[in-house]
Amino acid sequence: MTPAIASTFGIDFPLFAFSHCRDVVVAVSKAGGLGVFGALHYTPDQLREELRWIEDHLDGCPYGVDLVIPERYVRADAEGRQEFGAADLWQMIPEGHVRFANDLCDRFGVPPLAGGATLRDTAELAWSEQVARRQLDVALEFSPALLVNALGVPPRDVVERVRAKGIRIGALAGSVRHALKQKEAGVDLIVANGYEAAGHTGEITTMVLVPQVVEAVAPVPVLAAGGIATGRQMAAAMVLGASGVWTGSVWLTSAESELPPVVRDKLVAAASEQTARTRCITGKPARHLVTPYTEAWDAADTPDPLPMPLQTMATTEALTRISRSLATGNEGARELVTSPAGQAIGLIKQVRSCRTIVNDFREAFAAALGGIADGLG
């Protein structure tokens, strides 16, 4: 079986793998799927280095790039014509939010950053359209087969620039309304991102969302996302009308994952109910592994998370304290550290290589479709 979307992208199997780790992207693409590199946390110069490495190691296999061009963002005027500069944004952050995040680290024995660094420069304009456009400039220096916007409708000029380079463009959607806006914007592919998914996600479950989006945006192909970590689930998604699947959490637990082993092991050990949607990381609802850090922010008597990108900026110092202390074996950091995590982690029981995961998807997918055919026979 070679679905049309697999032929479109020159892949063997319509399994799309989102990851911030270049090793995962390359491994999945070389195994027959399509690795999609998440550019969010990279400066333009870092992104250029990562994409150069990816293309040097792909042996000609296709890959994609995922950007975040937010549709809603703190701006200087009601029409959204002019963004604030970094200095203006820092002035909007209540000191109480920064203090709350750092006090939480103090309570768990996570030491301050050396030299009193606040990392304001590294947090500059995180999750912003300005940064995403510079990342886009870099991505267009290379030859990805697909460029995806993960948060909101890509601007018309972005769609035109990407298509002019012969690159297909996609976008995530958490509702039929959002999917129709993506179709109107001219995207080539829509990822129907269900409630179960890691990271930013909406209110509608994958099983309900996918067939609605497929019907609403036809003939634009749709990938199913949210809670999918097995070939059986992939088969179910395609029976619902999806052309393939978009996956994330399963790659966080792979042998090639960029996560520290302690975080990866926490995900493998966790049950599906140990994830929750929280605004404490980015300011928008995003599903993460539940830890004392997320529980503290989500308590009723604590500061309300700030809008994007202010929440990320307010907590950068505290989260950096946690990540740096994690490397030294600090027990408080081990307790506090969280990660994007979908409900699919409850299906993941061990660390596997990316190639093994792709092969397991293939075998379970074929067995599931065969079982359906036998049952109908």
pLDDT digits (tens, 9 = 90+) for 179-226: 999 999 999 999 999 999 999 998 999 999 999 999 999 999 999 999
CATH number at residue 245: 3.20.20.70
Report if residue 166 sits inside a domain.
Answer: yes
pLDDT at 366: 95
pLDDT at 40: 86
Residues 218 and 155 in one domain: yes
Residues 170 and 293 in one domain: no
Report if residue 161 sits inside a domain.
Answer: yes
Report if residue 60 sits inside a domain.
Answer: yes
Residues 66 and 201 in one domain: yes
pLDDT at 76: 41
Residues 217 and 263 in one domain: no
Residues 214 and 94 in one domain: no
User: Is 350's pLDDT higher than 70?
Assistant: yes
Report if residue 342 sits inside a domain.
Answer: no
Flag whether the pTM goes above 0.95.
no
Residues 245 and 213 in one domain: yes
Domain interval for residue 90: 86-123+259-336
pLDDT at 125: 47
Report if residue 80 sits inside a domain.
Answer: no
Residues 21 and 162 in one domain: yes
For the chain, the three-class secondary structure string (H helix, E strand, C coil) is: CCCHHHHHHCCCCCEEEEECCHHHHHHHHHCCCEEEEECCCCCHHHHHHHHHHHHHHCCCCCEEEEECCCCCCCECCCCCCCECCHHHHHHHCCHHHHHHHHHHHHHCCCCCCHHHCCCHHHHCCCCCHHHHHHHHHHHCCCCCCEEEECCCCCCHHHHHHHHHCCCEEEEEECCHHHHHHHHHHCCCEEEEECCCCCEECCCCCHHHHHHHHHHHHCCCCEEEECCCCCHHHHHHHHHCCCCEEEECHHHHCECCCCCCHHHHHHHHHCCHHHEEEECCCCCCCEEEECCHHHHHHHCCCCCCCCCCCHHHHHHHHHHHHHHHHHCCCCHHHHHHCCCECCHHHHHCCCCECHHHHHHHHHHHHHHHHHHHHHHHC
Report if residue 78 sits inside a domain.
Answer: no
Residues 102 and 169 in one domain: no
Residues 42 and 143 in one domain: yes
Residues 183 and 236 in one domain: yes
Residues 159 and 300 in one domain: no
Report if residue 81 sits inside a domain.
Answer: no
Report if residue 79 sits inside a domain.
Answer: no
Supply 346's token pair.
């409850």
pLDDT at 267: 97
pLDDT at 123: 46
Task: Work out how many domains the chain is built from and give that number.
Answer: 2
Residues 97 and 153 in one domain: no
Q: pLDDT: is 74 or 239 the higher one?
A: 239
Q: Mean pLDDT of all residues in the chain?
A: 91
